[in-house]
Amino acid sequence: MGIRVVEFAAIGPIPFCGMLLADMGAEVIRIERPAGSDLGVPVETRFDHLNRGKRSLSVDLKHPAAHGVVHALLARSDVLLEGFRPGTMERLGFGPATVLAARPTLVYGRITGWGSTGPLAAIAGHDLNFIAASGALAAMGEPGVPPPVPLNLIGDFGGAAMHLACGILAALVAAKRDGLGQVVETSIAAGSIALTPMLQGLRQAGIWSAERADNILDGGAPFYRNYATQDARYVAVGAIEAKFYRALLDGLGLLNQLAPGDQMDRANWPETTRIIAERFAAHTNAHWLEVFAGSDACVTPVLNWDEAPSFAQHVAAGHFETVAGQVHPAPQPVLSRTPSRIRGGAPTLGEHNAALLADLGYSPEDVVSLEQQGVTKML
């Protein structure tokens, strides 16, 4: 790829975005605090999959001597990634105005929580808070009880990181064309909202109810929900199209009891759901998977983390990879000419200090001096 990315250590969307770029071939250098931090959930390096394939430079950004190191690195880089609260990078001396003045071609990617302006801009939050304010969380779960706590796939990764990665790639194309970088900014709040245009449109058209579990895609429809089987396992049913719904009823042996033509009659949904639930509960998960094998009824098992990598489709399609004994989700998307790949596990703190500093022109004596001063640190 020939692209160098400098990633200022953060949690959630920033390391995910950096991982995407590293998988696609970018050299991603992660700047980490020498003293470590309480960022996120502590995990052994070998399990730190978001930092796979990156290099680590451990620098105390508050030390005056660190500025020369970081600016020298940015002067030879193409992309900067940061996820601090608004104003933090400016206070550290690495804000867009300063950095782009020295490196006009740089693409400066940043993610905030709530955005860079507004009454909550400087207030802390996490994925749950941001999707709660987006409208999406209120649409999930069962009525009459609190909404569920979803995994941070919506705000952190799908909302913020994916949008940032897309913007960075577009900005790199623009920089190649006209030689000018730019700031690419999103927030977890805005990125979450940006995932909802279809649902917003359905709601405004009067097609989507404000009540939870009352719509086609939120578990309200009997043909798009999860069902328990006899052995306390679950199957996911997604038979939205009429021909798929018919295949579902056929496999369940319910064509004589439920009319396929009544599929979209909401008045029938509660009773239809009860009948289908009873039928699934009468047999084991394995039984139903055998019944629907090769069928377009859209019935699949609900797999846990340990089971998913062994699912036959994932194995055949290479959806998981094992690197240094650790199972990783395989890079996506698949490119035919320049395929992504996992380029190794996560680095230890400051693992590449000496090599990176030497590349920037620091002598071995300088490297030792910087460590002695507390500017850098290597485990």
Known catalytic residues are 126, 156
Contacts with 254 (C-beta within 8 Å, 6 or more apart), sequence order: 275, 276, 279
Give CA separation, 220 vs 35, 115, 215, in Å: 50, 34, 5
Q: How far apart are CA 365 and CA 319, in angstroms?
A: 46
State how far Cα 315 lies from the chain centre: 22
3-state DSSP call for residue 220?
coil
What is the SS3 assignment for 314-377?
HHHHCCEEEECCEEEECCCCCCCCCCCCCCCCCCCCCCCHHHHHHHCCCCHHHHHHHHHCCCEC
DSSP string, 138-173: GGSS-TTSPPP---TIIIIIIIIIHHHHHHHHHHHH
Is residue 185 a contact partner of residue 112, using CB atoms and an 8 Å limit?
Answer: yes
Contacts with 165 (C-beta within 8 Å, 6 or more apart), sequence order: 17, 20, 21
- DSSP state, 232? S
Compute the Cα dihedral for 370, 371, 375, 379 and give only its sign: positive
3-state DSSP call for residue 96?
helix
| Peptide bond preceding 150 in cis form (omega within 30 of 0) | no
Comparing CA positions, the residue from 186, 38, 208, 37 lying closest to residue 116 is: 186
Q: How far apart are CA 87 and CA 100, in angstroms?
A: 16
Q: How far apart are CA 310 and CA 303, in angstroms?
A: 10
